[in-house]
Amino acid sequence: MNYSHAFHAGNFADIVKHATLLAVLARLQARGAPLSVVDTHGGRGLYDLAAPEAKRSAEAERGVLRLMAEPEAPGPILTLRQAILELNPSGHARFYPGSPRLVADRLGAKDRLTVFELNPREAEKLRSHLDGRPAVVVRQEDGFQGATDLAVPGGHFLVLIDPPFERADDYARSAEALRRIRTACPGAVVIVWLPLKDLETFDAFLREVEGPEGLLVAEARIRPLRDPLHMNGCALVMSHAPDGLAADVEAICRWTVEVLGHGGEARVWSLSC
């Protein structure tokens, strides 16, 4: 309960996660069916990059502020930039949208968003940022359990699993939630975000979730994985990735590594047993 994403908002990992989320959302909405979106760890939904927490870490300066200053970027990155500009018409990125805000601003007329946030202070701020949106429900509950409870067969379902990974069981619970959602709703699109510190931890997670239907795995290593005490990159593990998404995610990871990284590597590949 001590973790606060306010220290990390707008960093390189947010760029990878949120640019991918917007690309997935657009492809699913293009299918025309009502979409149910679930965010397991919503945070506060909107972050002030001028606040002391963000200033102390300076992660946004090496992330989203670099993004806003770059003259060229691939299409999926530009989509995220446009979403940030909508909140910052002056062009200076003071406010950064978390995943609940990004999705809420793009819901179709029949789409729905359920956001879980267990921390009472963060949940209260999240409700205030999303107030007045009848298609959005904020629940101060355990998101791992809540997401699996909402998964039903035949639904048009998108789930983002994005815990803070400050608890020892966050990897195991993320893997369990992914498995249970895939069983309950076989067509669900699930995105799991993970920090990349060392290959042993990442490989152990992949062994827990691999299955016959396959998964799309994207890695953005901003530096070589030599020091397991630091976040050396991030990864996304996705079930039922929409057609064409792999190219978008590869462009997102490659841009992040080349522009924001230091001797790192971008990889996008398929995992199946």
* Cα torsion 82, 110, 237, 161: sign: positive
Three-state DSSP at 54 gives helix
User: What's the pTM?
Assistant: 0.96
Length of the chain measured in residues:
273
What is the C-alpha separation between 242 and 57, in angstroms, rounded?
Answer: 35
User: Could you tell me the CA-to-CA distances from 123 to 64, 221, 225 in Å, in that order?
Assistant: 24, 31, 34
Count Cβ atoms below 10 Å from residue 144 Cβ, excluding itself.
24
- Residue 1, pLDDT > 50, answer no
- Can you give the pLDDT at residue 218? 98
What is the C-alpha separation between 17 and 234, in angstroms, rounded?
Answer: 9
Q: Averaged over 74-90, what is the pLDDT? A: 95
Report which of 272, 256, 273 is spatially closest to residue 13, judged by C-alpha positions.
256
- Residue 2, pLDDT > 90, answer no
- Can you give the pLDDT at residue 187? 92
